[in-house]
A = this chain, B = another copy of it.
Amino acid sequence: MNGADVVVRTLLSQGVDLCLANPGTSEMHFLAAVDANPGMRAVLALQENVATGAADGYARITGRPAATLLHLGPGLANGLSNLHNAARALSPVVNIVGDHAMDHHSYDAPLTSDIEGLSRTFSVSTRTISPGRGAAAQIEGAVADSLGIKPGVATVLLPADSAWSPADLPDTIAARAVRPETGIDPLAVRAAVDALCQPGAVLLLGYGGTRGQALVDAGRIAARTGAQLMAQTASPVTDRGAGTPALERLPYPLDLATARLAKVPVIVLAGSKAPVAFFAYPGKKSKLYAPHTHLLELSRPQDDTAAYLAAVAEECGAAPVAKPAGGAIPQIPTDRFDAAAVGAVLARLLPENCIFVDEGLTNGLPIFTATAHAAPHRWLQNMGGSIGFAAPMTIGCALAEKGTPVIAMIGDGSAMYTLQSLWTQAREQLHVVTLILANRTYNILKDEVRNLDLRNRGAAIQDMLSIDNPLLDFVKLAEGMGVPARRVDSTTGLQDALTTALKTKGPSLIEVTL
């Protein structure tokens, strides 16, 4: 047995049985160990950001980490922006980075770089496995760190000589790591009830607050206290659709968000963070809430918000409520084809319990709104703001729940960051439907330009915000990676294409021309 065997066996003993990989020479012993120790599934990505984004998706659906397998510092760098997104989503990830043999570092070979320095900028912990000893403890520690008080990316450097040198499993196998129980603070619960009873109070949900029973309890609390229910602009997973409490989302644009919160006397943070602007703008405040607004922190993103909301519901005497009757699904318009029309089609066709990944940017909100009363589904958003997260995320979601349809809507500009994801979808025959919302611009930047105090809006700005020259042909791009695709420019075309795609076993792509 060598160090790589110990790593793979320890991962398996900790319940980590999926490895999202873009390996190189220094990772070959790890792959040999995957072959020698059955139970680990290795899935290949053509670029590292696909692997790391997939790990984020897997974690969001299962609550457990997958492993990555990346090649040295540059491989880590290539996967880093989706690790940033994963860290911001509090997604557990065991991020394994192969490294040169320890002695080889001093020769400054071409791929040598400061991997620890890179890792420390976003990891909850960075560990290095030494040759011949401690591999099991390091992996156990990394899995535990990824699932710690504040979950995130636990990075493990596996030098090549640590992988190939003889090593032994310890005599005792550590129990499988689980999130530590943090309990709840009864004083915070009591204070929240008082705050929520103030007229105009907002109960702002995030992270654990937008899931299942937590959301039901939040609905009961709102009914009992009169507080307004609202979600952060983005949440890792939101349970929604018919039968779930209606949940307003704090708008992304600074002016709209500020106006929405202007008269709110108190915001109770339930798994959410104090609402701040995504970007700063000249002469505008970063805080989205008014100077007179009180913030009351019931629970932080990493806390057990479900337990807190249950306690608040109990404390305020909230009655059980019937499932909301559900609202009307919007009519499909016949005279236009825009984001709202796409949303109306989706509202009819989203399969029950499907996973919906939202990288629709400017087109996202109308589609979110239109699908409020669709069949129950899970809605996944970008938590770190680095675009190119959705296509990789579909892979992790589909691997986490075999057979569950995964639908992604992605702006054309965003899709081009990590389009290689389509190939892995095809290779693994994942049930993913990718909707490319093709408006041929970085439209969100056009909105942002309006928010900025810009004196010049000349050719360079126009040029850098448009991606219509040349036109991207997503049908060809998808087919080039083995994913069947078609282009639609009408609601009937979209209905037909989406119906077909949902019946197709493997992946499909639909370019939606807006």
Contacts and interface: CB of A to CB of B under 8 A. Distances in A.
A461 B28 contact: yes
Contact of A46 (B75, B109, B457, B467): B467
A452 B383 contact: no
Nearest to A47: B417
A386 B74 contact: yes
A36 B103 CA distance: 53
B24 A445 contact: yes
Contacts of A25: 278-279, 444-445, 448, 452
Nearest to A275: B107
Nearest to A451: B25
A32 B450 CA distance: 13
Contact of A476 (B29, B445, B479): B479
Interface in A273-312: 273-274, 276-280, 282, 286-287
A480 B286 CA distance: 41
Given A161-B280, A279-B26, A476-B477, A35 B113 contact: no
B445 A42 contact: no
Interface stretch (A115-123, A196-204, A257-265, A344-352): A115-123
A85 to B, nearest CB: 8
Contacts of A480: 472-477, 480
Contact of A464 (B44, B464, B481): B44
Contact of A277 (B84, B104, B273, B385): B104
A24 to B, nearest CB: 7
Contacts of A73: 84, 121
A14 to B, nearest CB: 19
A456 B44 contact: no
A23 to B, nearest CB: 6
Contacts of A113: 84, 121-122
Given A416-B420, A417-B47, A482 B470 contact: yes
Given A74-B385, A383-B110, A472 B423 contact: yes
A75 B74 CA distance: 14
A479 B121 CA distance: 39
Looking at chain A, what size class is its interface with the partner chain?
A: 35 or more
Contacts of A33: 456
A280 B476 contact: no
A279 B35 contact: no
A184 interface: no
A514 B107 CA distance: 35
A-B pairs with the 4 shortest C-beta distances?
A: A470-B482, A35-B458, A74-B386, A476-B480
27 contacts: A23-B445, A28-B452, A32-B455, A32-B457, A35-B456, A35-B459, A36-B458, A42-B464, A44-B463, A44-B467, A46-B417, A73-B121, A74-B84, A74-B85, A78-B386, A107-B274, A107-B287, A109-B286, A110-B382, A114-B121, A114-B122, A117-B120, A117-B121, A118-B118, A470-B481, A474-B480, A477-B481
Given A77-B84, A108-B276, A473-B480, 17 more contacts: A21-B464, A23-B464, A25-B445, A25-B448, A28-B461, A29-B454, A78-B80, A80-B80, A104-B277, A109-B276, A110-B382, A118-B118, A416-B420, A416-B423, A423-B472, A472-B482, A477-B477
